[in-house]
Amino acid sequence: MLGLPLAFSAPLVLAALLALPALYYVLRLTPPRPREVSFPPLRLILDLQAQEETPARTPWWLLALRLLLAAFIILAMAGPIWNPPSASLNARGPLLVLMDDAWPSAPNWAERVNAAGERIVAANRDGRPAALLAMSEGAREIAAQDSARVTERLRTLKPQPHVADRMLTLPAIEKFLSAHRDAEIVWIADGLKSGKAEEFSGALARLATDRPVHLVRADRLPIAISATENAAGALETNLVRAQTQGAASGLVRAYDKKGLAMGQAAFDFGSALETKALFDLPIELRNDIARVEIEGEHSAGAVSLLDERWKRRRVGIAAGSTADVAQPLLSPLYYLRRALQPFADVREVQAARGDPILSLLEDRLSVLVLADIGVITGKTRDEVMRFVNDGGVLLRFAGSRLAGATDDLVPVRLRRGGRVLGGALSWDQPKQLASFPAESPFAGLLIPQEVTITRQVLAEPDANLPARTWAQLADGTPLVTAEKRGKGLIVLVHVTADTTWSNLPLSGLFVDMLRRTVALSGDTLAGGADAQAAQRVETLSPQRTLNGFGTLGAPPLNARPIPVQFTGSPTAEHPPGFYGPPDAQVAVNTLQAGEKIEVASYANGFVTEPLMLAAPVDLRASLIALALALFLIDAFASLWLAGGFDRLRWRKISRGAAAVLFVSLAALAFSGERVKAQGKPGDAALTTRLAYIVTGDAQADEASRLGLASLSRALAARTALTPGEPQGVDLARDELSFYPLIYWPIVATRPQPSAEAVTLLSNFMKQGGTVIFDTRDALTARPSGPPSPEQQWLRTMLAGVDVPELEPIPRSHVVTKTFYLLENFVGRTTVGQTWIEALPPEGADQANRPARAGDSVSPVIITSNDWAGAWAADQNGTPLYPLVPGGNRQRELALRAGINIVIYTLTGNYKADQVHVRDLLERLGH
């Protein structure tokens, strides 16, 4: 209305505004009440007639006030609504909803589903069928259905981790549009160019001809990780975004293979489209990072997976010749250093440190590179041997020293002297490299034509030589040989690391070969040979893949193995994730390294609509409140005009004020638990009682109170503990140390507690208190989906709390045996998981202990089963909330779980020792 997002549910009432002028005349003629005066001698003048009577008129401002008051009431009756729900579009045909479902739509997937659902339901109101097509579905047949079916299908849609080609859907759309001439098209787009969005929009505009196309797009475009690089100083994460508007800063978190947080780094785009986040961690920790993700950005694009290729090895290099500082280009160390530095930490021999190789080995190397060192003897040889046997990679380069004399630390037997190709005394031309054998780790590397070998050392032609050859010359003489020794590997390059024997060190191939070789030095336990074996496999099967929300999980059914040298963007068949055996996983990332995301510019003629429509606001309540305020003002003004204020004596005013104060205090006491919560701190110390956090959500608080009261009754009836009435506590104001157990139902809509309150909570937990966080979302949270609002809320709050490592309650945990023998901890629901502080790893002697406990009571128990709801019962024991799936047995089990937990918090690991009491008594008896 009038360009404002305002609508009236009963616009006819507005006609009453026409009556305002009449009201104006009536009000104008009605003067305010006169001043009233008691006057005892009145009867003396009672018979006098007024000599002059000037009729008092209502003052104009009072008149205006009253007219305004009347207008407000009329407006309120007309039912005004701010941001009315989108008026049904003037289309009659079916509604076609096109959903972008690639990873860029994942961060606001819920809003997208809502937007689509609203439009489908609105179409249904007009009696129009709807059709839904997700962009990843390709050439699926589109059929218009009723809204229930379409909505059901809409709920099953999930964002895909890959970007599908939208053009594939065009035939189906064309067919649908030709069948339904008057169809209306709504495209819920992700706003990015990827997946041929621009071509698609052009084609769609052509197909639609004069039909309106509503383009629904979010204001906020996603942020993605384009590449992650384990650079020299830190792990660098490249972040990209499509537009310069929106949130520019945030956090990137790194996790290891098991999902434990390794660190976090802040990023800030400023006004750029690209930025970097640096994880400044020690190299050992950096090598453990398997996953990097942008916090709060739940999409596959915001996750970067790291495999062995990202691990940064520590490589020690040593050369036989003394380094000539004045002429670095003559030193093999120079070439090695330059080639290795981009992907590994290079250690060099410090001059004044005794035996160079021994001192290098002290640095816990992954790879030891020896350039032209002929013979290693004595203690040094033993150490190198041990290094290789423990899984290290020894990479040796030939040279004049090696050609002269060698030891047993080479993969093949060598002939003395070597051979010279293309020299003055040789007929041969310098040789080129042959293509790498398929089983070689170098397989797939491009061989530049200009690389020539002029001199090399030769291997004796033993039977096992071909198996040990990784690279050979065009004439078949081996150039690189390798042998597995112990858990490690010895690799020999039959040329020097400098340019005297070949120009290999000048080529990019040299770097690639070094990279592959260094990458073989997997973790020292697994051994390089397995990795080697894995490398020989041609395809890698998917192990764990990302879904559209960026969560790792089991691969979908249509996922296929990738070829070993897989490059390129992921597809539906090759979703991003980890492929291959657990020891040698290969990561496929959503975005290619260096890939950018760009804003799509859509075809003209689309009607653009925002994704998030502002929620409609019913203005009635505020208008009536306003009218009431005006009414109060009017009342006071009338009183003032009649001189009523003067008649109020102070004593009366103070009495009135006292009354008002009393009433408001009473209202405060009635309305808030705040006043009620913990009257005197001393009282709380006298009895053991359960406590719950007053969240401010009346329903949750009532459920907590009743639930704990019911649990307290059960405890008093069945155990030696007779707790007092449960106490509601306010983190910010109440002393917590009196309570052994605090129950905290998470209400996601409540504001976060203050930092001080969280500190108090943290202290409470450190001092031995136990807090049960009940997210109560077992039915709504999806294990693979984004965290539910309650989980998000809890995570945000616990960010400042020192929470120990948690695990689902194991069967042997003492809490399952403190009073009842329990298998699981159910509440109103049974499907939720209950987490408790992880127990220390089982010792050898504890293997068959029936109950285990840590040193102290777990400070945190997190459940999602809504325990209080299951406990809650009225005074007669009648349950108050329905259970899922239900039944008295479940309620009883919930109570037993509560009893076990209370006893656990009060007795700690006592019960764990108690299971041995018979044995102890027997021993004492002897």
Residue numbers of the site for another protein (CB under 8 A)? 31, 34-46, 48, 50-56, 646-647, 649
Q: Pick the closer one to another protein by CB: 48 or 446.
A: 48
Under 8 Å between Cβ of 856 and 850: no
Q: Pick the closer one to another protein by CB: 28 or 153.
A: 28
Q: How far is the CB of 637 from another protein (least distance, A)?
A: 15
- Rounded Cα distance between 399 and 332, Å, is 10
Unique residue bearing structure tokens 């041609």: 538
Q: How far is the CB of 636 from another protein (least distance, A)?
A: 18
Q: How far is the CB of 26 from another protein (least distance, A)?
A: 20
Each as own residue / partner, the long-range contacts of residues 539-543 (CB below 8 Å, 24 or more positions apart, any chain) are 539/563, 539/564, 540/564, 540/566, 540/579, 540/580, 540/581, 540/586, 541/579, 541/580, 542/574, 542/575, 542/577, 542/578, 542/579, 543/577, 543/578, 543/579, 543/580, 543/581, 543/582, 543/585
Unique residue bearing structure tokens 């383009």: 215
Closest-CA residue to 158 (of 212, 105, 94) = 105
Q: How far is the CB of 32 from another protein (least distance, A)?
A: 8
Q: How far is the CB of 30 from another protein (least distance, A)?
A: 13
Q: Pick the closer one to another protein by CB: 52 or 450.
A: 52
Q: Pick the closer one to another protein by CB: 536 or 655.
A: 655
Q: How far is the CB of 647 from another protein (least distance, A)?
A: 7
State how beta strands 552-553 and 469-472 pair: unpaired
Q: How far is the CB of 753 from another protein (least distance, A)?
A: 53
Query: Is residue 492 classed as helix, strand or coil in its secondary structure?
Result: strand
Q: How far is the CB of 57 from another protein (least distance, A)?
A: 11
Write down the H helix ranges in 826-866.
none
Phi, psi of 553 (to 5 degrees): -160, -170
Q: Pick the closer one to another protein by CB: 46 or 557.
A: 46
Q: Pick the closer one to another protein by CB: 18 or 37.
A: 37
Under 8 Å between Cβ of 550 and 103: yes
Q: How far is the CB of 38 from another protein (least distance, A)?
A: 4
Query: Is residue 626 classed as helix, strand or coil in its secondary structure?
Result: helix
Q: What is the DSSP string of 786-820?
A: SPPHHHHHHHHHHTTS-PPPEEEPPTTBGGGSSSS
Phi, psi of 901 (to 5 degrees): -70, -40
Q: Pick the closer one to another protein by CB: 45 or 720.
A: 45
Unique residue bearing structure tokens 């080639």: 339
Q: Pick the closer one to another protein by CB: 30 or 178.
A: 30
Q: How far is the CB of 750 from another protein (least distance, A)?
A: 51
Q: Pick the closer one to another protein by CB: 35 or 92.
A: 35
Amino acid at 825: F
Q: How far is the CB of 23 from another protein (least distance, A)?
A: 23
Q: Pick the closer one to another protein by CB: 2 or 48.
A: 48
Closest-CA residue to 320 (of 361, 353, 340, 349) = 349
Closest-CA residue to 706 (of 690, 722, 730) = 690
Under 8 Å between Cβ of 107 and 299: yes
Q: How far is the CB of 77 from another protein (least distance, A)?
A: 35
- Rounded Cα distance between 867 and 825, Å, is 9
- Rounded Cα distance between 641 and 32, Å, is 7
- Rounded Cα distance between 5 and 605, Å, is 23
Q: What is the DSSP string of 316-328?
A: EEEESSPP-TT-G
Q: Pick the closer one to another protein by CB: 46 or 755.
A: 46
Q: Pick the closer one to another protein by CB: 460 or 646.
A: 646
